[in-house]
Copies of this chain bind each other. A is one copy, B any other.
Amino acid sequence: MVNSRLQDQKKLKNAVILKNFAQIREILAKTHQADIADVLKSLNRLKDKKVLIEQLEAEKVALVLNELESEEISQLLSMLPDLKVTEVFEHMPYDDAADFLGELPESEQEKYLDLFDISSAEDLQELLSYKDDTAGGIMTTEFIAIPYNISVDKAIKALRENAVNAETVYYVYVINLKNQLMGVISLRELIIASQDLMVSEVMKRNIISVNVNDDQEEVAKVVARYDFLAVPVVDDKNHLLGIITVDDVIDVIHEEAEEDIYKMAGVSGLEDDINAKLTSTLSSRLPWLFVTLLGGFISGNVLSAFSNQLDKMVVLTFFIPLLAGMGGNVGTQSSTVTVRGIATGFINKETVRKTITRELMIGVLIGGIMGSMVAILAYFWQYNMKLGIVVGLSMMANIFTAATMGTLVPLFFKRVGIDPAVASAPFITTAIDVLGLIIYSTLASILLFVI
């Protein structure tokens, strides 16, 4: 199936370039909006894009635009006559329209808002007033709500008449006269129920909702936990304001996972686009490299204080990359497990002690295994027993420190309100580098030169 879709995309692209209108329309009729959007993106010439978009009905244009970024949407809309733009907006889900308008400068926003009728424009302006990464920022106001005091039969009739305007009718929300959320009933349950019962008799009353100001990550957790297709959004007084559908939640899950991965690698997370400007990429990556630079000079100073001993015994130098590399990698392992444990809720108040004990034990075990191996290998490399002991003990202490810091630093960050994902970035490896060298030089000074 996937291959035939790719073929259709290629055929469509060729038909557009050759201006074969009959074929364009034929392929468009059976092609999903996500695939049409891909073809649009792959067309290099503006006039080709225009050929394609002009062959689409307004309703399909709206669906295709949902798949694109704001800049691309602006560009495409500017190719269409105002009348068609209005028609496109009529078919665009409010949440997507608000996402698009939200990224435009205010003067352009006004221009587009003027194309809507007054009540839609008001709805849109309300959506625009919520922060991007909150429930309000990702909800849509297009849902179906019915009063509690009508019959199932009447409710189904009302649905038949209004369903066209709602993004999803899989859940029907039940409200009182003040527009407060009272219950929910799935379309399926409504159809199975006896037609003459009242809605309030068949609805589910224990309804789980999210607050309009909740963080989008919290919303995603609720939807994933309870396997919802949509979740209602209410204000502090339980007035029903909108719904968030599962497809938008999937986008949030992707977005948040990517953000965390980038942060853990010391990329600020702004960067998810190879089309982004080089300067913004640099400003996303350089800060952590300056931390590394600072750490590197501190490490250099530690070694400088240790230079007499290094001078006398150059072989001590050979183990510096090994110690630093091992500390960094053990630290990254521990911090990754801890950071993800916090993010997924697996590490919580009840399990935090167990986690710490466990990671420290792992630190002791890995330290023991690696320390003894390194001691033996170092001995057989340089035939110096004391050196083997120094390197082995340093490795043990270094690994234990790395595991401890990798576990405690993210937990500490979480406690004081810093995003724990940051702890896994260069910050922690750099800190471990410095500590590891202090341990090594101290142990070497004492065991090799004092005793």
Contacts and interface: CB of A to CB of B under 8 A. Distances in A.
Interface in A313-336: 314-315, 317-326, 328-330, 332-333, 335-336
Tell me the number of copies of this protein.
2
B288 A329 contact: yes
Interface residues of A, number: 119
A205 B141 CA distance: 30
Given A262-B340, A322-B299, A344-B258, A293 B1 contact: no
A312 to B, nearest CB: 10
Interface in A183-218: 187-188, 191-192, 205-206, 208-211, 218
A114 interface: no
Given A285-B366, A366-B285, A337 B271 contact: yes
Nearest to A424: B265
A106 interface: no
A112 B95 CA distance: 47
Contacts of A257: 253, 257, 261
Contact of A5 (B34, B208, B426): B208
Interface stretch (A118-126, A145-153, A303-311, A410-418): A303-311
A289 interface: yes
A68 to B, nearest CB: 14
A226 B32 CA distance: 8
Given A267-B333, A267-B337, A437 B229 contact: no
B191 A160 contact: yes
A420 interface: no
B226 A266 contact: no
Nearest to A206: B30
A205 B328 CA distance: 55
Interface string A98-120: 00000000000000000000000
Interface in A226-244: 226-227, 229
A264 interface: yes
A362 B219 CA distance: 36
Contacts of A253: 250, 253-254, 257
A286 B366 CA distance: 8
A56 interface: no
Interface in A244-281: 246-247, 249-251, 253-254, 257-258, 260-262, 264-267, 271-274, 278, 281
B208 A321 contact: no
B350 A293 contact: no
A191 to B, nearest CB: 6
Given A264-B261, A307-B315, A321 B296 contact: yes
A51 interface: no
A311 B318 CA distance: 12
A79 interface: no
Instruction: Give the interface centre of A169, A285, A296, A332 by most chain B CB atoms within 10 Å.
Output: A296
A305 to B, nearest CB: 10
B285 A333 contact: yes
A325 B278 contact: no
Instruction: Give the interface centre of A188, A272, A346 by most chain B CB atoms within 10 Å.
Output: A188
B264 A296 contact: no
A187 B335 CA distance: 47
Instruction: Give the interface centre of A170, A258, A285, A300 by most chain B CB atoms within 10 Å.
Output: A300
| Cβ-closest 9 pairs across A and B | A296-B322, A299-B321, A265-B336, A227-B247, A300-B318, A257-B257, A30-B206, A329-B426, A311-B314
